[in-house]
Amino acid sequence: MNAQIASVIRLELMKTFFSRRGLWVYLLAFAPALLYLIHAIDVTRDHEHRQALAAAHPVATEALRSIKEGATAEQLFGAAGEPYSSRTIPQGRRARAGGFRNLAIYQYTDGDSDFTFVVVDGQVERINEQDRCNLQKDSAIFATVFQFFYLRLAVFFGCAGIFMNLIRGEMLDKSLHFYLLAPMRREVLLGGKYLAGLIAAVTIFVTGTALQIAALSWHFDAGAVSEYLRGPGWSHIAAYLGVTALACAGYGSIFLLAGLLFRNPILPAAFVLLWESINLFLPAALKKISIIFYLQSLSPVVASPDRGLSLFQRLLISSAEPPRAWVAITGLLIVTAGVLVFSGFRSRKLEINYGTE
């Protein structure tokens, strides 16, 4: 039986990894990493530009931070020297529009952060310190993108593409009969196909997650990265990779069943997507009947779901106590196993009827 499963896996992996029809799965998996890489290149170039400005207009960070709102322009220049950029608004025009007489904007940089001083009538009225990206901020952004784009859309649709293709794709290609004519139990065939899909999905999407993390941390200096890794870094990375693999296992089993049961699996996929998407607004008990609930509870950094929602939408959100990690992992694996067992039973009734496809 093991040799048969291995043979099914070998055939399916060739098909899944090298099929032209599956190129979009790679795009879904690796597009976020590419975006993070572009972001990292942009941040690096910006940092180099700031370093060059700081070299031309040297100023200490402490000197810039010593300036408080209400300080005079003379005090600013005395402490920080000449800004690398200054802009004044002509007196008459601003006076008519806003009622003040004189406005100037001075920009300094210490090489890492930008300091902008808004001076009105010779007095510092507002100070804006824009620091370079830090790991904490970026990891919060990563958590949001991971939970609300990568898991819910990229892994979801990627698994739909990979796992639905295992049975339904073969039906459409009229090649499923080659498998059904092999002397193996249908459950074994299905198990082999699921394992092949899982290996492919985990390889593609876990690699995608790893590349995102690598691209995100690429522009930070080695010291900051090793400090992060000494702290929660490794456990975060392991959690993200593990959650991605669990997502592939959970969604994979559901889409395998959908491919087995439905002639047009787009409809059940749309239903599952809707169910997973409205998870935020479901009552606590229903929340737990979803894959995304457990996946989010396993994510190491909490992503705020209500950012960008209206007050009315926020009122609709219900909260459910997130389960412990071992409960979430066990629960997901039990759900996956249950769906696979049911698929196994259904596969016994699988028939070749290409004419109606």
Partner 1 sequence: MTNRVVFDNVSRFYGEVLGVNRVTLSIPPGITSLVGPNGSGKTTLMNLMTGLVQPTRGEIGVLGVRPNDPARLCHLVGYATQFDSFPKGLTGYEFVYSFLRLFGYPHERCAKQAKAAIARVRMSEAAHRKVAGYSKGMRQRVKLAQAIAHDPPVLVLDEPLNGLDPLVRNETIALFREMAHEGRHVIVSSHVLHEVDQISDQVILLSNGYVVAEGQIQSVRGEIQDQPMQVWIRCNRPGALASRLFEMDHVVEARLAADGAGLLVKTRDAGRFYRTLNHIALDGIDLEGVTPVDDNVNAVYGYLIGEESR
State the residues that interact with partner 1 by CB under 8 A: 1, 3-4, 7-8, 10-11, 14-15, 18-19, 173-175, 177-186, 349, 351-354, 356
Report, in Å, the least distance between residue 161 CB and partner 1. Answer: 15
Sheet hosting strand 85-89, strand order edge to edge: 85-89, 103-109, 114-120, 123-130
Report, in Å, the least distance between residue 348 CB and partner 1. Answer: 8
Q: Based on CB atoms, which residue is closest to partner 1, 17 or 275? A: 17
- Asked if 100 and 49 touch (Cβ cutoff 8 Å), the reply is no
Nearest to 29 by CA among 119, 110, 149, 122: 149
Q: Based on CB atoms, which residue is closest to partner 1, 165 or 296? A: 165
Length of the chain: 357
| Radius of gyration, CA atoms only, the chain | 28
Q: Based on CB atoms, which residue is closest to partner 1, 4 or 51? A: 4
Q: For 4, phi and psi rounded to 5 degrees?
A: -65, -45
Segments in 105-185 forming alpha helices (H): 135-145, 156-164, 170-173, 176-180
Report, in Å, the least distance between residue 171 CB and partner 1. Answer: 11
Position 155: which residue type?
V
Residue carrying the six token digits 């989010």 = 296
Report, in Å, the least distance between residue 44 CB and partner 1. Answer: 41
Report, in Å, the least distance between residue 262 CB and partner 1. Answer: 16
In angstroms, the CA 292 to CA 297 distance is 8
Q: Based on CB atoms, which residue is closest to partner 1, 97 or 181? A: 181
Q: Based on CB atoms, which residue is closest to partner 1, 137 or 185? A: 185
